[in-house]
Homo-oligomer: A and B are copies of this chain.
């Protein structure tokens, strides 16, 4: 007899994690990790030959990885010059916050229709951050903060917005590396996160959005100021001339 249970759908969901295999993508994963953890400084040049030899992949495959990361704006590719770790500047910070405002606020404002699981992902991120703070795990606090905003943007349930947001936050983590003292930058925002989550959970998404709007303004200004302080010494953004 033909077995056609509905559990077959659950199998189909796992397909994505199964089919994920490609040397170029795995290499991109490795590089992405190194870049975001700061192992490669912003502005550093990535030699095809050196990295290809180090990772044991051919130049062609490595180039595919570079293209992937270039599209995520973690690497910039200059023709005939090579690929470099992106070095975001003040105008990038401003632009990143423009996009964040558009995506996060509109997701929050339309959150009456958000499913409970999506709201709970926000709560989980809040708790994740508080626990990391208790452990004085600053990197973990930053990661949790990213998860928080990812969850906010994910309230609308849009795969495309999720992906855009992932890229934005990865790029933003680069910004933190350019900054002087990113150590405890995130910590003060934890209580804001909790307040926003509770407003959201208690059915006041508009109030939550207003609160988040302030939040974003303050954070942006803080980053812009930090950039302004070190501007002139190394001209972090834009094309050098």
Interface residues of A (CB under 8 A from B): 12, 15, 19, 21-22, 60, 63-64, 67-68, 71, 79, 95-96, 98-99, 101-103, 105-107, 156, 158-161, 164, 168, 239, 241
Query: Which residues of B are found within 8 Å of A102, using beta-carbon distances?
Result: 102-103, 106-107, 156, 161
| A68 CA / B105 CA spacing, docked (Å) | 30
CB pair A99–B67 under 8 Å, yes or no, is: no
CB pair B64–A95 under 8 Å, yes or no, is: no
Number of copies: 2
| A160 CA / B92 CA spacing, docked (Å) | 9
Given known contacts A63-B64, A164-B164, what 15 new A-B pairs fall within 8 Å (CB)?
A12-B241, A22-B79, A60-B60, A64-B64, A67-B67, A67-B68, A95-B158, A95-B159, A98-B158, A98-B161, A99-B164, A102-B107, A102-B161, A103-B103, A105-B106
| A239 CA / B13 CA spacing, docked (Å) | 11
